[in-house]
């Protein structure tokens, strides 16, 4: 066992006791911490201000502003924000289960039922951002989708009840495992997100009467970047590898630009036509043709009943 690394101390964060590092990014570290005033566990994202230029600093403040305006069970909550001369501190709802990315690595891939359970929660979060807040996230990926608690993954012959918001306290009933299950998944990291749509009028931001058509179209299509990303996440969940990959960044860029991907055999052989149909409507190069979040949610795969377990042997 490795000794626990000593936690740093930050001037301006005396009210929190840091207990573990949860992740890090280019300009930030995220810690699991205890809020000493309430005794509650939280996550603290510490952003090193001195490494940021003016526009990057403005982006952090935008991230905070967007998060302040959101309130949804599939979006990581911002509890408070403060700053010192050297740092920004974002106190966030703690997601103890870590990244969806790690669970994919651990499990190789998800069953269709489990994938549906996860992706529907993410989709509800995106629906809220797109339709109710006029926000585009722009960085949907497995590293930014976090589990509320460490998931208990059902084995192949266990039924996972479809996600039901009303019954969230009961957890997912898994025979032999009981409640708990894989639990909630939430969208984190609003560092690249953008408000594109006026919340009240549901029109593009800015004075509509004077907005050029390419801007109106741009703002409409900007939401479709999240839908492409959602398609990539769903594809990855179902088979364990991403739809677009190449060692060469130039080749990869070309593949994405052409929307060149396949349902590679044997990995995709047993996956339903319905799932593939849904992915095809998301990984669609023309943003005008790509499914919107409402079209996604209306697709039959999203409401398919979980498959019954295989007969006992």
Residues near ligand ADP (CB under 6 A) are 22-23, 25-26, 28, 30, 43, 45, 76, 92-95, 99, 143-144, 146, 188-189, 191
**Among the residues of the chain, which ranges form H helices?**
54-68, 100-107, 112-127, 213-222, 224-239, 249-258, 273-282, 293-298, 300-303
Shorter beta-carbon distance to ligand ADP: residue 187 or 293:
187
Binding mask 90-129 for Mg ion (x = CB under 5 A): ----------------------------------------
**Sign of the torsion formed by the C-alpha atoms of 40, 42, 48 and 49:** negative
Angle between helix axes 100-107 and 224-239 (nearest 10 degrees) is 30
Shorter beta-carbon distance to ligand ADP: residue 45 or 290:
45
Tokens of 237: 């969940």
**Interface with Mg ion, residue 189, by CB under 5 A:** yes
Of the listed pieces 9-17, 94-102, 185-193, 215-223, which binds Mg ion according to CB under 5 A?
185-193
**Which one, of 140, 30, 138, 134, lies nearest residue 74 by Cα?**
140
Tokens of 131: 């339709």
Of the listed pieces 46-54, 63-71, 141-149, 221-229, which binds Mg ion according to CB under 5 A?
141-149
Which residues are designated catalytic?
139
Of the listed pieces 86-94, 100-108, 138-146, 264-272, which binds Mg ion according to CB under 5 A?
138-146
Shorter beta-carbon distance to ligand ADP: residue 188 or 271:
188
How far apart are CB 113 and ligand ADP at their closest, in Å? 25
**181 exposure class (CB count in 10 Å sphere: 0-12, 13-18, 19+):** buried
30 binds, among Mg ion, ligand ADP, none (CB under 5 to 8 A by kind): ligand ADP
146 binds, among Mg ion, ligand ADP, none (CB under 5 to 8 A by kind): ligand ADP
Distance CA 100, CA 184 (A): 11
Distance CA 296, CA 206 (A): 28
Using Cβ positions, the residue closest to ligand ADP within the complex turns out to be 25
28 binds, among Mg ion, ligand ADP, none (CB under 5 to 8 A by kind): ligand ADP
Distance CA 73, CA 59 (A): 24
Q: What is the largest CA-CA distance in the chain?
A: 68
How far apart are CB 72 and Mg ion at their closest, in Å? 19
Shorter beta-carbon distance to Mg ion: residue 111 or 121:
121
Query: Strand, coil or helix: what is 170?
Result: helix
Shorter beta-carbon distance to Mg ion: residue 29 or 111:
29
Tokens of 82: 């403060």
Length of the chain: 313
Distance of CA 148 to the CA centre of its chain: 12
Distance CA 126, CA 95 (A): 18
How far apart are CB 122 and ligand ADP at their closest, in Å? 15
**Interface with Mg ion, residue 29, by CB under 5 A:** no
Of the listed pieces 130-138, 139-147, 173-181, 196-204, which binds Mg ion according to CB under 5 A?
139-147
Q: Which residues bind Mg ion (CB under 5 A)?
A: 144, 189
């Amino acid at each position: 066992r490795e000794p626990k690394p000593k936690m740093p101390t930050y001037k301006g964060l005396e009210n929190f006791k840091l207990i573990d590092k949860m992740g890090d990014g280019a300009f930030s570290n995220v810690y699991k911490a205890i809020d000493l005033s309430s005794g509650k566990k939280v996550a603290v994202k510490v952003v090193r201000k001195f490494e940021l230029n003016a526009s990057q600093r403005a982006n952090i403040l935008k991230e905070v502003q967007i998060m302040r305006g959101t309130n949804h069970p599939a979006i990581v909550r911002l509890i408070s924000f403060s700053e010192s001369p050297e740092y920004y501190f974002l106190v966030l709802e703690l997601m103890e289960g870590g990244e969806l990315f790690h669970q994919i690595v651990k499990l190789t891939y998800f069953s269709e039922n489990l994938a549906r359970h996860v992706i529907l929660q993410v989709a509800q979060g995106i629906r809220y951002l797109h339709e109710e807040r006029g926000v585009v996230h722009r960085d949907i990926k497995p590293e930014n989708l976090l589990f509320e608690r460490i998931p208990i993954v059902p084995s192949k012959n266990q039924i996972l009840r479809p996600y039901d918001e009303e019954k969230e306290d009961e957890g997912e009933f898994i025979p032999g495992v009981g409640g708990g299950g894989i639990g909630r998944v939430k969208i984190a990291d609003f560092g690249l997100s953008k408000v594109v749509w006026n919340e009240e009028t549901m029109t593009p931001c800015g004075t509509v009467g004077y907005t050029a058509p390419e801007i109106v179209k741009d703002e409409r299509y900007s939401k479709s970047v999240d839908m492409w990303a959602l398609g990539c996440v769903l594809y990855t969940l179902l088979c364990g590898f991403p739809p677009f990959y190449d060692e060469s960044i130039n080749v990869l860029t070309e593949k994405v630009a052409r929307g060149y991907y396949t349902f590679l055999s044997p990995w995709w052989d047993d996956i339903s036509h319905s799932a593939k149909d849904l992915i095809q409507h998301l990984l669609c190069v023309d943003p005008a043709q790509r499914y919107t979040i409402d079209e996604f949610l209306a697709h039959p795969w999203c409401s398919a009943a979980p498959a019954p377990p295989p007969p006992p042997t």
